[in-house]
Amino acid sequence: MATFNFNGQTDFYSGKVRDVYTIDNDILVMIASNRLSAFDVILPRTIPYKGQVLNEIAAYMLNECKDVCPNWLLQVPAPTVSIGKKCIPFQIEIVVRGNLTGHAWRTYKEGKRVLCGVKLPEGMNENDFFDNPIITPSTKANQGHDEDISKNEIIIQQLATEEEWITLEKYALHLFEKGKKLAAKQGLILADTKYEFGKINDKIYLMDEIHTPDSSRYFYENGFNERLKTGEKQKQLSKEFVREWLMENGFMGKEGQKIPDITDEKVEEISNRYIELFEQITGKTFTPKVLDDDKMYNIVSSSLLKLR
């Protein structure tokens, strides 16, 4: 993906899956790439249309959830581009879990019954619903691994004040409830997800993407209870199938481990899974769109000019 230099650009940052441009210190241009990350490592193969899928799902969800809390998004001028307000981010990710799955299940299976300061009930099985959704925050690392953290540690380390945490918690739980309702309309269960928040002056905004396969885990509602009873793996739409494939091939992002070869067939499979999630969650048919660098630059530049 090309690196651009927009008029009024004051900063540039290349993240795990997005390139972020700051304009006049108050506007962000986020361009979603086709890069794929897992275990906080960028994998060596790109996934066709992944950036478009993530960007368009995030835009759809931010629009659907704008009644819950303020969010950063202003425009989506191109399939992989979102333009919005620059916020000062909280250096934490608010992870909300409705089901015991993924990292939470791996922790539980090790015999631990406290995750991020939250007590986990005895007698649970993989993918069981919690009585009520739980919040298990993590630190937000620009490089390396995110780390689990508790509410008390967040306040002690001054990553958020107690008053700010109350608002973050309220927003996150209400967003999760809205996300579950939107998923249910499409025959899906939103099992877990993460949210990122920031501030402009004293106002808290929802940032980044929400309810996408990179930030969330979805199960198919059809057959969920039957699979739960038999212990069969749930049919899911998320990045977890990528993590599972990597783990099966001896990679968990730890030092000395080698990323397995990602074949053309595996790349196509991952791309198809992303497209499947787009169509499942939005109810729309995915239309691949590819812009060359010059056209994308012109579209973004024109949008920025109108915002000034």
Residue 214: predicted pLDDT: 82
Q: Residue 283: inside a domain, yes or no?
A: no
Provide the residue range defining the domain that includes 151: 90-241
The Cα–Cα gap between 295 and 223 comes to 45
Q: Residue 191: inside a domain, yes or no?
A: yes
Q: Residue 144: inside a domain, yes or no?
A: yes
Q: Residue 172: inside a domain, yes or no?
A: yes
Q: Residue 296: inside a domain, yes or no?
A: no
Domains in the chain, number: 1
Q: Residue 79: inside a domain, yes or no?
A: no
- Cβ contact 37:16 at 8 Å: yes
pLDDT digits (tens, 9 = 90+) for 91-112: 999 999 999 999 999 999 999 9
Q: What kind and span of H or E run contains 134?
A: strand 129-135
Which among 10, 51, 6 is positioned nearest to 289, based on CA atoms?
51
Q: What kind and span of H or E run contains 73?
A: strand 73-78
CATH number at residue 94: 3.30.470.20
Q: Residue 111: inside a domain, yes or no?
A: yes
pLDDT digits (tens, 9 = 90+) for 249-282: 999 989 899 999 999 999 999 999 889 889 989 9
Residue 237: predicted pLDDT: 79
Q: Residue 159: inside a domain, yes or no?
A: yes
Q: What kind and span of H or E run contains 28?
A: strand 27-32
Residue 236: predicted pLDDT: 83
